[in-house]
Amino acid sequence: MNTVTVAELRQNPTPVLEAVEHGETFVVTRYRKEIARLVPPARRRRVTAAEAMSVYERAPLSDRSWSEEVARERAAELARDPWDRA
């Protein structure tokens, strides 16, 4: 892990940020005490259609009872008069 002071980072941030962009981590110090860490962002990986389908198939919502419940609730809401104050 690399170390950079606040003063160094303030004077010339480009090389440090480029190194972070390429996967390196930096500890930012002030008066020899760590005050921050610069880390590269977590990279998202692409998910294939087959991987997505396997997740959906294993999900607990695959039994369709939830869609019937939503339809009943929606029908009850649509049947209610929105202007009725009862």
The share of the chain scoring above pLDDT 70, in percent, equals 94
The 3-class SS string of 36-70 reads: EEECCCCCCCCCCHHHHHHHHHHCHHHHCHHHHHH
Instruction: Give how many domains the chain has, as a whole number.
Output: 2
Judge contact between 53 and 35, C-beta under 8 A.
Answer: no
- 46-68, pLDDT tens digit by residue? 889 999 888 877 777 656 677 78
Question: Is residue 28 one of the residues assigned to a domain?
Answer: yes
> Which CATH number covers residue 29?
3.40.1620
For residue 22, tell me if it sits in a domain.
yes
**pTM > 0.85:** no
Amino acid, single-letter form, for residue 68: E
Q: Are residues 31 and 53 in the same domain?
A: no
54: containing domain: 49-79
pLDDT at 69 over 90: no
Residue 19 domain-assigned?
yes
pLDDT of residue 62: 56
